[in-house]
Structure 1
Amino acid sequence: MTGGPTNEATGGPGRTDRVVWIAPTLLTLAVVLTGIGRAQPWRDELATWSAASRSPVDLVRLAGTIDAATSPYYLFMHAWLAVFGDSVPALRLPAALAMAATAGLTAVLGQRLLGARAGLLAGLLLAVLPGTSRYGQEARPYALATFFAVLATLLLVAALTRPGWARWAGYAVAVAALGLVHLVALTLLAAHAVAVFAAPRDRPPNRPLRWVLALVPAALLLAPLVLLARGQRSRQLGWVDTARLTDLTTLPTGVAQSGVVGGLLLGLAALGAARLGRRALLPGLAVLLPVLLLFAAGLVVPLWVPRYLVFVVPFACLLAGAALATVPLPPALAVVALAGLLGLPDQAALRRTHEWPRSATVDYRGAARIVADGQRPGDAVVYSPRESWLFLDLGLAYHLGDRRPRDVLVTQDQARRGDLWAAECARPAECLAGADRVWLVVAGRRDDPLAAVAGAKGDALRADYTVERVWPRPGLTVALLTR
C-alpha cells in the first residue's frame, strides 16, 4: 500500500518530483479566487457570520444550544474576522486557501503512492472541478475538512513508510483537527485502519499499536463534542430525510457540483482503481468507506447530506490521476482541460448563487438595498417567518449593519439567547405600538405579503397597518407598511 512507486511510474526522481505540488496549488488558487465575492452569502454562510461575530463566551453558549459540531470552526472564524473583517471575500478566504493547499497535498500524496505524474494530474483535476470552487468559495468548514483529510492521510503514509514518534504525533494532530472542523470526516479513519493493518509485514510490528495510540488524544478531545452534538441532532438536522438507495446515484453530482463532470470523475476513478490493483487500497477505501458508513447511518438517522462527503473527492482524483497517467502527458492534460471546460457552465452558475438549485436564489442583498434606499428615522422591521433556515434577519443584518431599522419584535437577540434565531415579543401589537412605518420581509414571492404572516404577529399587522408598496425579489418579498 505504501510502497514507493517505480521509476517507470514517476519518470525517475528529480526536480519535477519535488515541485509536483506547485502547479495544482497555484491553479486551484487562481480558480477559487476568481469571482470569490460575486455570489452573495447564502443562509449557511450567514449562520457562520452570525456565530463568528459573537464573543467567545457567546460562542460557548451557542455550542450548548445548537451547532456544537461546528463551534470549533466558528471560533477559528471569530479570530479570522477580528483580523481580516467580514467582507464576502474575507469570509471565504480561509476556504479558498484550504482548497489550494489541498490540491498541492493531493499531488504530493499521489506522488508518494502512485508516482509523480499521477499526483500532478490528480491535483490538476481537483483544481478544475466545480465542486472545488463551490466549497473553496464558501464560509463553511468543508474545505478545511478536505485539507485535513488529505494531510492526515499523507502523514499516515509517512509514518507507515518511515516510522517515528514525530510523524505519528503529526498524524495525531491532523486527525484531531479533522474532527474539530468536521466530525463526519472521521469516517476516513476506517480507511486508515485498513491501511495500517494491511501494510506489508516488513513494516515495524508495533505499527497498529502506534496508530491506536495516535488516536487517543483526538478521542479524548473530541468525545465531549460528539456527545454534545449528538444531543442536538434533531434541531441541527431536522430538515434532513433518512437516506434512500437513489441518494447514492446523486452523490457524484453533489460533491462535484456538476453531473457531467462528476460522472467523468467517477469513470476515471474506476479505471484507475482497476489499473492499480492493491495500490488502490488506500485511496479507494478513502472514497468508499466514508460514503458507505454515512449512507448506512443515514438509513437509520437523518445524516445523509452529500456536501458532508466533499472530503473524499481528492482521493477519487488520485484514482483518476492514476488512470490518466497511463497515457502520455499531453492527452492526459487534454482530459483535465476537458473536465474544466465541461464544468464551465456550473462554474459560472455557482458564482451567481450558492443556493441549490441555482434558480432558488434568495436576494438578501437586493432586499437590503430596498430598505436602505427607502427607510426613515423611526422605521421598524418585521420578519416572517422568524424561525426559518432562510435567516431573513441575518441576511439584512449582514448587508445593512448598523443602518438597519429597529427589529421591533425582538426581545432577546441570537447572541443573548445562545441560538441562531432571536426570540420575539409574545404580544406583537404592544411591541408595534410605537412604529408608524414597518418594513415587512417575508419568505417567498408574495402578492399579498400581509396575508403570509401567521399567528398573532400577522393579526397585529393586519389590524393596524396597510400595505403601501411591495417589492418582489428572488426568494423573498419586501413590503412597506404604514399605520
Structure 2
Amino acid sequence: MLLPGWLRRANWLWPTLATLIITAVQLDHAPLWRDELATWSAASRPVDDLLRLVGNIDAVNGAYYLLMHAWIAVFGDSVLALRLPSALAMAGAAALTTLLGARLFGPRVGLLGGLLLAVLPSTSRYGQEARPYALVTLLAVLATLLLVRALHRPTWPRWLGYAATLAALGLANLFAVSLLAGHAIAVLLDRQGHRRGGVPVRWVVAVGAAGLVLVPLAVLGRGQQGRQLDWVGRPGLAALVGLPGSVVQAAVVGGLLFGLAALGAASRGRWGAALGLSVLLPAALLFVAGQFTPLFVPRYLVFVVPFGCLLAAGTLAPLRLGAALAIVLTVGVLGTPEQAALRRTHESPRTAPVDYPAAVRIIAAHRQPGDGIVYAPRDGWAFLDLATAYYLPAARPRDVLLAEDQVRRADLWATECAQPERCLASVDRLWLLAWGEHADPLAGVPASRADPLRARFRIDRRWSVPGLTVALLTPPPTRR
C-alpha cells in the first residue's frame, strides 16, 4: 500500500522513531550513576534551596536543574521519569538533524544523517542519562537550523529566534557556545548575505544579545570550576587521537564516522566546510583549553555529533539508497557491544560498574530499627549517601555522623560531625557503605573515622557488590 504523500515527505519521522525506539530499550535498566544522583539531589529540592545550591556549585547546570524540578513535580522521580526528557531530546535532535541536512544538502543526506545519529552508542548513552547533554545536542542543531534560515531570509524575528536559542544552548552547557566558531565561518562564507549587506552585523547583534544572558553565568561558573572539575586531568596526544571514539562511545564507530565525515566536509562546499569546522574547532578549543585549566571532558562535545553525521551522510548519499542504508546498519552493528554495555552501567570503564541498588537492597533486607549507617568516603564524587537516599527513601538507617545535610549546606555534600566517637555512641548496630570492593571494609576509611569504628565495633558481616562493599558492624561480644 502506498504511503500518504505527507508521510513520504516527512523523512524526519523515520530517524525520530528510530531514535526513540533504540533509546527506549532498557531505558531504566542501568542504575543511576553519580552525575544522575547529583541531578536528582538538586532538582528534587524546593526552588529556593535549588537556587542557593547553584550559587555555590554547579551553576552551569542550574537551568537544567530548574527544568528537571518542574518535570519531577509532574512525572515523579523514578529512573524512567528522570531519563525520559533526555530520550525525547535526542529524538528531537534526530528530527532536526534530518531537517538541517535536507535544507543544506537534500532529503537523502538529511535522512541518512538522522539515521546515523539514531544508531550511534553516544545517542543512547546520553539519551538514557538524566543530564543535559541530550538537550544541548537538540539546541545545537536547532541553533544551526535557525542560522541557516536567517541567512536565507535575514529578518529580525529570525535573528531573534537564533539569539534566544543560543542563549538556551549556553544555559544548558556553556562550552557548547563554542559552536559559534563554526557559525562564524558560515556567516563569513555566505556570499549572498554579504551582497545584501547587514547579515554579519545582525549575526553579531544576535550573538551579543545571547552573550548578555550568558556572561553572568560564565563568571559564576568560572569561580566554581576548580571545585567542580578538580578530577579532570590535562589531556595528552593520545586523548586527542582517541577523541572521536570517546565522544561517540565506541572507538571503531568513532573512527569510521570521522573518516566518512572528513570526506563529506571536503565535498560539500561551503556548508560542508562550515559543519566540518563546527566539529573541529570546538574539539580543538577543548583540547587547547584543557592544557591550561581542568576542562577536557569528551562528553562536552556530544553536541557536534549530529554535524559529523550529516557530513558522513554526505559521503554516503551518492551511493544507491540500499547500499547507503546498509552502511548505516553496519555502523549500528559495530556499536552493538557498547550499546549493550551502557545499558548495564553508565560508569567508565564499563567493566567497572557500581551497583547502588544491590547494595541498598542488602541493607533493606537486614536492617533493624535503631540501626545507623556511615559512608566511606563522604566527600568526593561517590555520592553514597545520595544513592541510599534515592534507592531507600523510607526507613533507611540513621546517618549517625551527619552534622549538616546537603540542603542546609546548599551543596552536593554533607558535613559530618567533628567528634565521631560521641556521634557513634548512640547506636549498637551500624552499617558501613564503602566505595570499592574490599576484604577489610575499614581499610579505605580515613583514620579519624576508622579508629573510633574499630574501637567500638567489629565487622559482623560483609557483602560485596559491583563497585561497593557493604558491612554490618556490631559491638564485640564482651560489650553486649
Residue segments in structure 1 that go unaligned for 5+ positions in a row? 1-13
Q: Please name the residue that 2:74 is paired with.
A: 83
Aligned-pair CA distance for 1:17? 7.5
Among candidates 335, 346, 355, match of residue 354 of structure 1: 346
| Contact 2:244 2:251 (8 Å CA) reproduced | yes
- AA matched with 1:33: A
Is 1:106 matched up with 2:97? yes
| Contact 2:112 2:328 (8 Å CA) reproduced | yes
Of stretches 239-248 and 371-380 in structure 1, the one that deviates more from structure 2 is 239-248
Aligned-pair CA distance for 1:20? 1.7
* CA deviations over 1:123-153 (Å, ceiling 9, x no partner): 0000000110000000001000000000000
* CA deviations over 1:311-362 (Å, ceiling 9, x no partner): 0000000100100101010000000011111111111110000011111111
Which stretches of structure 1, 4 residues or longer, exceed 6 Å deviation after superposition? none
C-alpha separation between the residues in 2 aligned to 1:449 and 1:327? 59
Is 1:131 matched up with 2:146? no
Q: CA RMSD in A?
A: 1.2
- AA matched with 2:354: V
Q: Please name the residue that 1:177 is paired with.
A: 168
Identity of aligned residues (%): 60
Is 1:69 matched up with 2:92? no
Among candidates 261, 278, 289, match of residue 269 of structure 1: 261
Among candidates 274, 277, 280, match of residue 272 of structure 2: 280
Q: How does 1:157-306 map to 2 (within 5 A)?
A: 157-201=148-192, 203-306=195-298
Q: Please name the residue that 2:478 is paired with.
A: none
Is 1:343 matched up with 2:335? yes
C-alpha separation between the residues in 1 aligned to 2:7 and 2:85? 28
C-alpha separation between the residues in 1 aligned to 2:440 and 2:292? 41
| Contact 2:266 2:273 (8 Å CA) reproduced | no
* CA deviations over 1:7-51 (Å, ceiling 9, x no partner): xxxxxxx85784121100111011111110000000110111111
Q: Please name the residue that 1:473 is paired with.
A: 465
C-alpha separation between the residues in 1 aligned to 2:348 and 2:18? 26
| Contact 1:362 1:476 (8 Å CA) reproduced | yes
Aligned-pair CA distance for 1:418? 1.1
| Contact 1:385 1:453 (8 Å CA) reproduced | yes
C-alpha separation between the residues in 2 aligned to 1:148 and 1:132? 15
Residue segments in structure 2 that go unaligned for 5+ positions in a row? 476-480
Aligned-pair CA distance for 1:201? 3.8
* CA deviations over 1:31-80 (Å, ceiling 9, x no partner): 11111000000011011111111111111111121111111111111111
Aligned-pair CA distance for 1:268? 1.0
Is 1:384 matched up with 2:372? no
| Contact 2:15 2:114 (8 Å CA) reproduced | yes
Aligned-pair CA distance for 1:388? 2.1
SS of equivalent to 1:169:
helix
C-alpha separation between the residues in 1 aligned to 2:421 and 2:117? 55
C-alpha separation between the residues in 2 aligned to 1:357 and 1:247? 15
C-alpha separation between the residues in 2 aligned to 1:405 and 1:159? 58
Of stretches 274-283 and 24-33 in structure 1, the one that deviates more from structure 2 is 274-283
| Contact 1:42 1:354 (8 Å CA) reproduced | yes
Q: Please name the residue that 2:391 is paired with.
A: 399
Question: TM-score, normalised to structure 2's length?
Answer: 0.96
| Contact 2:102 2:111 (8 Å CA) reproduced | yes
Question: TM-score, normalised to structure 1's length?
Answer: 0.95
Q: Please name the residue that 2:310 is paired with.
A: 318
Is 1:408 matched up with 2:400? yes
Is 1:117 matched up with 2:108? yes
SS of equivalent to 2:196:
coil
Q: Please name the residue that 2:441 is paired with.
A: 449
- AA matched with 1:290: P
What count of residue pairs does the alignment treat as equivalent? 470
* CA deviations over 1:143-198 (Å, ceiling 9, x no partner): 00000000000000000001211111111111011000000000001111121122
* CA deviations over 1:347-389 (Å, ceiling 9, x no partner): 1110000011111111110110000000011100000110021
* CA deviations over 1:288-331 (Å, ceiling 9, x no partner): 11111111111111111100000000000010010010101000
